[in-house]
Amino acid sequence: MKTIIEPSRIKSVEPIHFNTTEYRHKALKEAFYNPFLLHADDVMIDLLTDSGTSAMSSAQWAGIMVGDESYAGSPSYFRFKEAVQEITQMPAVIPTHQGRAAEKILFSITGGKDKVFISNTLFDTTRANIEFSGAEGIDMICEEGRHPSIPAPFKGNLDTGALISYLASNGSSHVAMVILTVTNNSGGGQPVSMQNIREVHDICYKNGIPLYIDACRFAENCYFIQQREPGYGDKSILEIANEMFSYADGCTMSAKKDAFANIGGFLALRNEELATKCRNLLVITEGFPTYGGLAGRDLEAIAIGLHEVMDEHYLQYRIRSIDYLTQKLHSAGVPVMLPAGGHAVYLDAAEFLPHIPANQYPGQALVCALYVHGGIRCVEIGSLMFGKYGPDGHLIPARLELVRLAIPRRVYTQSHIDYVAEVIIEVFAKRQTIKGLRITEEAAMLRHFTAKLEELV
């Protein structure tokens, strides 16, 4: 098989600001060993997130110029609506400024005290919006999804056995909805199978529970179904997406992911009565129903991006580039999550740095080492992000100590990815020299964004 090439040529470039190890050492110290506090110009390869960091196409940039800024009834809205409907086949399409705004509107109406939302895994903003409404969120990830190093094709599936027994013992009248996150972002970007979506739909239908899809990475999920699930090899991504959404009553989406946009999102619904309630809330929080929180040019860029993301040459390259980096690291003995997910590579920091205990934040120590050694920025998903304190003030560590390298869409080339692999492998070779960290300052909630740390001697 020949090399899978990037499915696009480069027309416009952004310079990388090169710097030295000494410079980065100083910059990191000044940022209190928290790369969120770095100046982005001091980062050479930025793998902090795949959200809003995509490279737009020449067609999208042309769409920015074509975007119509009419307050009401903009033709850009109608092109946006048509693009969303082609994929979801849902009658009501409500634009929002990003994914969490769609969540906030939907859950303000469907949530509230004593309600429960069940999911394969709720993304953090989704859970936060559910809890903010007074409701509770419950994750029911399948058994395979709990083990980072054991490969399985659909580790994002919801545990249908757990759902059935929950409903048998608790009833269903208080269950506001089931939400399937595709792909499962918080669970490593692992896909959900069509069979699982169908089974979850059948359970929901029998129990009168609405099924929603958190569709941020719908195209990556559809590509995994096409490649891995029997019966889907000959189907187009659009056909697979149409079937997937046919099982749902509605969906929320962040256009900052699989729509290649730098901002945007939407809510799509089948129920017109619910859509009217959502639009009434939209007007007071986001804007008029034909623009939500967006400019006409954003709607135009999203409409074009939604079409481009279903290109199979793009998806093959996208999924392959994540797998390429994962395999390169795996064959060098670096502990990684297997198989590769759709948008990020995950390092197992507990195994990478066994000499650093959880209360010295091995994930954050690794994040810092990758920055100093190679100018790469990534994020800790471990005890700095999810750790809690017990009543005696001792750290209760997270279940896993992971480091996520999220790959922005269409931004980096294979040589950038090769460089990333080289840096990680070099750091792995001298892992004994990496020191643990201590928190000197932290916020009560979401502390990883702003925490200040220092290196232990």
Ligand X SMILES: *Cc1c(COP(=O)(O)O)cnc(C)c1O
- Give the nearest distance from C-beta 150 to ligand X in angstroms: 23
Both tokens of 422, joined, read 């080289």
What is the number of other CB atoms lying within 10 angstroms of the CB of residue 40? 10
Interface segment toward ligand X; rule CB under 6 A; list 63-71, 98-106, 166-174, 344-352: 98-106
Residues written for the chain: 457
Task: Confirm or reject binding of residue 262 to ligand X (CB under 6 A).
Answer: no
DSSP letter string over 214-263?
Answer: E-TTHHHHHHHHHHHSTT-TTS-HHHHHHHHHHT-SEEEEETTTTT--SS
In the bound state, the residue with its beta carbon closest to ligand X is: 99
Listed ranges 78-86, 121-129, 276-284, 369-377: which one lies at the site for ligand X (CB under 6 A):
121-129
Please list the helix, strand and coil fractions of the chain in percent, rounded to the nearest 5, in that order.
45, 15, 40
Contacts of 338 (CB under 8 A, 6+ apart): 148, 149, 150, 151, 326, 330
Q: Which stretch binds ligand X (CB under 6 A): 94-102, 199-207, 269-277, 355-363?
A: 94-102
Q: How many CB atoms lie within 10 A of CB 30?
A: 12
For CA atoms 147, 148, 150, 152, the dihedral sign is positive
Contact between 265 and ligand X (CB under 6 A)? yes
Which DSSP letter does residue 388 get?
E
Q: Which stretch binds ligand X (CB under 6 A): 62-70, 97-105, 107-115, 165-173?
A: 97-105
146-151-155 Cα angle (round to 5): 50
Cα–Cα separations (whole angstroms), residue 251 to 210, 211, 213: 11, 9, 5
Cα 193 to Cα 152: distance, rounded to the nearest angstrom: 11
Is the CB of 338 or the CB of 344 nearer to ligand X? 344
Query: Checking DSSP bridges between strand 402-406 and strand 379-381, what pairing results, if any?
Result: antiparallel
Residue window 122-151: x/- pattern of binding to ligand X, with contact defined by CB under 6 A? -x-xx-------------------------
Three-state DSSP at 365 gives helix
CB of 97 to ligand X, least distance (A): 8
Provide the minimum distance between the beta carbon of 129 and ligand X in the complex, in angstroms, as a whole number.
9
Among 28, 44, 48, 51, binds ligand X (CB under 6 A): 51
Q: Are 315 and 219 in contact (CB under 8 A)?
A: yes
Count of residues engaged in binding ligand X, rule: CB under 6 A: 15
Q: 20: how many CB neighbours lie within 10 A of its CB?
A: 9
Give the CA distances from residue 438 to residues 33, 64, 73, 254, 368, in Å, rounded to whole numbers and listed in that order.
10, 46, 54, 35, 13
DSSP 8-state code for residue 184: B
Only one of the segments 93-101, 313-321, 332-340, 405-413 lies at the binding site for ligand X (rule: CB under 6 A); that segment is: 93-101
Q: Please, what is the minimum distance in Å from the beta carbon of residue 49 to ligand X?
A: 8
Residues 384-413 touching ligand X, rule: CB under 6 A, are none
- Residue of 185, 196, 290, 360 interacting with ligand X (CB under 6 A): 185
Q: In the numeric block, which tokens belong to residue 423? A: 């840096």
Peptide bond into 339 cis (omega under 30): yes
Q: Based on CB atoms, which residue is closest to ligand X, 81 or 100?
A: 100
Q: Which stretch binds ligand X (CB under 6 A): 95-103, 231-239, 294-302, 438-446?
A: 95-103
For ligand X, what does the binding mask look like between residues 242 and 261, x meaning CB under 6 A? ------------x-xx----
Q: Which is nearer to ligand X, 42 or 103 (CB)?
A: 103
Tell me how far, at minimum, the Cβ of 123 lies from ligand X, in Å.
Answer: 4
Between residues 256 and 377, which has the closer beta carbon with respect to ligand X?
A: 256
Range 301-340, binding ligand X (CB under 6 A)? none
Q: How far is the CB of 125 from ligand X (least distance, A)?
A: 5
State which residue, 100 or 377, has the beta carbon closest to ligand X. Answer: 100
Closest distance of CB 337 from ligand X, Å: 17
Where in 192-221 is the site for ligand X (CB under 6 A)? Answer: 214, 216
Q: Does 181 bind ligand X (CB under 6 A)?
A: yes
Nearer to ligand X, 31 or 130 (CB): 130
Query: Which residues of the shown chain bind ligand X in the complex (CB under 6 A)?
Result: 51, 98-100, 123, 125-126, 181, 185, 214, 216, 254, 256-257, 265
